[in-house]
Amino acid sequence: MRILHVWNTAGVASIIAKFMDRLFSTESLVVHRKKFDKFGFTVYGELWDCSSYRFILKIIWLARKFDIIHIHDLDILLPILRRIYPKKPLIIHYHGSKIRNKWSQRKKYWKRADIIFFSTKDLCETDTPEQAIYLPNPVDIDLFHPISGVKKKQNTALAFLYYLDEKKAKEYADKYGLALEFLERNIPYRKLPEVLNRYSHYIDRTEIPSLSKTGLEALACGLKVIRWDGKMIEKLPEEHYPDVVVRKLFSIYQSLLQG
């Protein structure tokens, strides 16, 4: 089975492709534009240094070699690919702001897909299509895990200035008796595990009612995470382990190819 992943929102495509290939011996290729990967999320796949026009042309040409085309957020490609490859399985996988409160607006694109995925439960809205499937964000546990030898700041929470109400974050820190440090969310992906491991707690985004991918990665690193509603959680939920996610996805891939 050959799968082409187009775009790499928050590195999710790289994680899926890596663990899918490892567990099921599939042949996956992740392609993303270099310009849009400033944090280095594409640890598995290719970065193309080209214009949007050339990127689309390359995708159209490359798609002929693959059994399944799995598009992440870049739904404008769906009508084009459907027209050129009418029988090829097409998947659209939404990851957040691209689709949040925009399901009706983007119907002209997602209606061309055979399968629709959304990655966080808050994206299940009144106009979300009934056939859309929740596929939890996987965490790359090869990268995100407790690191021995990193000096940890006990009783100290990290919060990134991203989808964050600073006042609310301070209230949460006070509630649990924690010191609080704010950082800009500009840390390279490969360095993020070490940064997270320096803290005992992480205050996740406060403005969206679902755990962020960074919040999940903090849990995988052994931190206690305070989520949007002030509740503290201490363990990465099983549904976010990469083997769990790709087993569910592989089953869907198989059903697509079997018609």
Express each pLDDT in 29-86 by its tens digit. Answer: 999 999 999 999 999 999 999 999 999 999 999 999 999 999 999 999 999 999 999 9
Two tokens, residue 90: 């097409």
The confidence score (pLDDT) of residue 168 equals: 95
Burial class (CB in 10 A: 0-12, 13-18, 19+), 94: buried
Encode pLDDT of 109-157 as tens digits: 999 999 999 999 999 998 999 999 999 999 999 999 999 989 899 999 9
Report the percentage of the chain scoring pLDDT > 90: 93
Rounded to two decimals, the pTM is 0.95
Closest CA to 72 of 2, 6, 139: 6
